[in-house]
Amino acid sequence: MKGEQIQTLHPQAGKSNKRISLEKYLIVKGNILSILSEAQLTHTELMERLYENIKDTFKGGIQWYGETVKLDLEARGVIERTGSKPEKYRLLKDKYKELFN
């Protein structure tokens, strides 16, 4: 039997994202937010840090879940791409505080 699920969002209009385990979503989301609270990172750096943080305890494709949750957080306005070269991701602290405090 499946546990509770969450419908994730996609930042690009017209695209839909996936329904995933709420438990896995919360683990990945918490780690992404923690990582980005320390530094702005490229996509590769973010996914590498996420992998290192949860590889020993997470069941499932870390990169796939990481990408799905990252897109959801972008769509919700919690994180954004900087537009720099190389492009980096950063936490939008005001939106983070509004949603999670």
> Is residue 101 over pLDDT 80?
no
For residue 97, name the pLDDT band (cuts at 50, 70, 90). Answer: low
For residue 16, name the pLDDT band (cuts at 50, 70, 90). Answer: confident
Enter the pTM of the model. Answer: 0.89
- Give pLDDT tens digits for 31-74: 999 999 999 999 999 999 999 999 999 999 999 999 999 999 99
What span, in angstroms and rounded, lies between the C-alpha atoms of 98 and 101? 6
Beta strand ranges found along 1-101 (DSSP E):
5-7, 19-21, 79-81, 89-91
Phi and psi at residue 46, to the nearest 5° = -60, -50
Name residues whose C-beta falls within 8 Å of residue 42's C-beta, 6 or more positions apart in sequence. Answer: 86, 87, 88, 89
| Residue 100: per-residue pLDDT | 55
What span, in angstroms and rounded, lies between the C-alpha atoms of 75 and 96? 13
